[in-house]
């Protein structure tokens, strides 16, 4: 839509150090599911969050659209997926500058109604040198309609895959929200998550699921992947046990997060060597 064209190319830059406090709290939150690294993989998503006063928050307690993202006429926000290129690891104490711009705004019609997509580009730099280049896909949806929920299909078996097993609980969700300064109510406000946005319970963060897979890939490869792509498939609800799985592929590793209760994959990824 032409009214959103002015947003394309708009951006800003912010800086924050990789502090020992942040590293320690991140390790405590995701203990047991991190690869060996001076700075844990995925910690960059805790840097320079959008921080606004309460009167600038929307219904879901994200910053109101129109401040950092265009004000699309759709109320429900989801982190749909993205791609990261890892150029070099971070070190403790690095002053990281994130440069952000909006690359695209688009609308589509999905099975559940209208969808609005915002594509952001982030570049994380230390002393002017890029450490991570990222594309982030954010989708906005309509409120749920009665009877809208659709059954998801069980994922195929992956014989011989490597797996980590985890049951995300409310404390893990709370800590990850705090680390990323993410006020989205679907992660801690059960009545809102179920009654307004139509989920079956508290929702596990998309980026946290991507972090699990990034760390498993790094653990198996022995180094950061050159490129990591991921996309959300189905909601993951708190207290549901999952397997974080990886198997060899032509590109490097195929990965997924799979609910152990019904075999449904909630997020898929590819780690390129």
Q: What's the mean pLDDT in 227-236? A: 97
DSSP state, residue 153: P
With a cut of 90, say whether residue 191 has pLDDT above it.
Answer: yes
Check whether 60 has a pLDDT greater than 80: yes
Tell me the C-alpha distance between 102 and 104, whole Å: 6
What is the rounded average pLDDT of the residues 63-67?
Answer: 92
Question: How do the residues of the chain divide into helix, strand and coil, expressed in percent and rounded to 5?
Answer: 20, 35, 40
**Band of pLDDT at residue 148, cut at 50, 70 and 90:** low
Model pLDDT for residues 66-104, shown as the tens digit of each residue: 999 999 999 999 999 999 999 999 999 999 999 999 999
Asked whether the predicted pLDDT for residue 195 surpasses 90, the reply is yes
On the question of pLDDT at 189 being above 70, the answer is yes
Mean pLDDT of the chain: 95
**Residue 169 clears pLDDT 90, i.e. is over it:** yes
State how far the Cα of 134 lies from the Cα of 140, in Å rounded to an integer.
20
To the question of pTM greater than 0.75 for the whole model, the response is yes
DSSP string, 59-73: TTSSBPTTTSS---S
Please report the pLDDT score of residue 151 as a whole number.
67
102-139 pLDDT per residue, tens? 999 999 987 778 999 999 999 999 999 999 999 999 99
pLDDT at 147 over 70: no
8 Å CB contact between 255 and 214: no
Distance separating alpha carbons of residues 129 and 228, to the nearest angstrom: 19
Confidence of residue 149 (pLDDT cuts 50, 70, 90): low
Q: In the sheet where 162-166 sits, what is the strand order?
A: 11-17, 95-110, 113-126, 129-141, 76-86, 227-232, 265-272, 252-259, 242-248, 162-166
Considering the chain, what percentage of its residues have pLDDT values greater than 70? 97
In the beta sheet, which residues pair with residue 75? Answer: none
- List the beta bridge partners of residue 137: 81, 119
Strands 113-126 and 129-141: antiparallel
- Domains of the chain and CATH, by start: 5-272 (3.10.129.10)
- Region 14-21: what's the mean pLDDT? 98
* pLDDT > 90: percent of the chain: 90
């Amino acid at each position: 839509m032409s009214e959103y064209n002015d947003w394309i190319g708009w951006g800003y830059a912010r800086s924050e150090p990789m502090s020992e406090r942040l590293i320690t709290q991140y390790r405590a939150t995701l203990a047991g599911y991190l690869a060996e690294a001076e700075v844990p993989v995925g910690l960059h998503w805790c840097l320079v969050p959008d921080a606004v006063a309460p009167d600038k928050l929307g219904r879901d307690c994200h910053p109101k659209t129109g401040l950092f993202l265009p004000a699309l006429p759709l109320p429900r926000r989801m982190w749909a997926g993205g791609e990261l290129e890892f150029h070099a690891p971070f070190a403790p104490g690095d002053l990281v500058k994130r440069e952000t711009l909006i690359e695209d705004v688009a609308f589509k019609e999905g099975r559940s109604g209208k969808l609005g997509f915002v594509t952001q580009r982030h570049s994380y730099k230390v002393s002017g040198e890029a450490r991570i280049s990222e594309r982030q896909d954010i989708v906005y949806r309509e409120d749920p309609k009665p009877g809208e929920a659709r059954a998801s299909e069980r994922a195929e078996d992956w014989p011989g895959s490597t797996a980590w097993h985890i049951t995300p609980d409310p404390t893990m969700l709370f800590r990850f929200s705090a680390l990323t300064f993410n006020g989205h109510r679907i992660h801690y406000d059960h009545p809102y998550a179920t009654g307004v946005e139509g989920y079956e319970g508290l929702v596990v963060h998309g980026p946290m699921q991507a972090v699990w897979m990034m760390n498993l890939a790094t653990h198996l490869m022995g180094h950061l992947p050159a490129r990591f792509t991921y996309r959300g498939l189905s909601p993951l609800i708190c207290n549901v046990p999952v397997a974080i799985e990886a198997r060899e592929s032509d590109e490097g590793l195929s990965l997924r997060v799979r609910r152990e209760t019904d075999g449904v994959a909630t997020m898929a990824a590819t780690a390129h060597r």
